[in-house]
């Protein structure tokens, strides 16, 4: 079984998107998905201590981190005084294991780039632990990804 960690979003924000649209929405550098991508969906929801809230892809995650870890002082500087636990509870309450509110990871087929510029504003969270997942689709160049209904 596959596992996912790192930045995730909701299926409803990526379904039906081309590779270049996924790059722009999620904050991958242009061409990062040129070889394709796989979309993996969490089959279990992480515990509250297993993720951090990173707002939207307009804000690259590294701008809210120090040495690769969530930095609460940077988050407060950017967003003000937030109730971190309440935000996490609200986020988790909105997630599902099926349908548009399921957590998904978009993973490059060939990891050639680790640059993540600003995206178009898709909600994102960062899984800080491995979470079991299933592969929904492998998207290859010039192939449409169309669901007639959300799986």
CA 112 to chain centre: 18
CA distances from 74 to 38, 53, 136, 147 (A): 31, 13, 34, 39
β-pairing, 51-56 vs 2-10, is: unpaired
> What does the pLDDT look like over 114-126, one tens digit per residue?
666 667 678 899 8
pLDDT at 29: 86
| DSSP 8-state symbol, 47 | P
Confidence of residue 14 (pLDDT cuts 50, 70, 90): very high
> What does the pLDDT look like over 50-106, one tens digit per residue?
998 876 665 666 666 677 777 777 667 766 667 878 888 989 999 999 999 999 999
pLDDT at 149: 45
Helix ranges (H only) for 28-121 are: 72-79, 84-94
120: left (phi over 0), alpha (psi -120 to 50) or beta: alpha
pLDDT at 49: 95
Cut 0.85: pTM above it: no
Residue pair 122/106 in contact (Cβ under 8 Å)? The answer is no
pLDDT at 53: 81
């Amino acid at each position: 079984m596959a596992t996912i960690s790192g930045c995730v979003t909701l299926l409803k924000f990526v379904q039906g998107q081309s590779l270049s649209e996924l790059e722009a929405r999620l904050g991958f550098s242009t061409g990062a998905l040129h070889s394709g991508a796989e979309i993996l969906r969490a089959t279990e929801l992480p515990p509250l201590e297993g993720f951090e809230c990173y707002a939207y892809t307009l804000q690259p995650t590294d701008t809210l981190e120090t040495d690769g870890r969530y930095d609460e002082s940077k988050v407060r500087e950017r967003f003000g005084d937030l109730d971190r636990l309440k935000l996490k509870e609200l986020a988790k309450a909105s997630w599902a294991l099926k349908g548009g509110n399921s957590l998904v990871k978009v993973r490059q087929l060939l990891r050639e780039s680790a640059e993540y510029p600003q995206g178009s504003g898709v909600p994102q969270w960062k899984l800080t632990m491995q979470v079991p997942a299933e592969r929904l689709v492998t998207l290859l160049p010039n192939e449409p990804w169309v669901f007639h209904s959300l799986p």
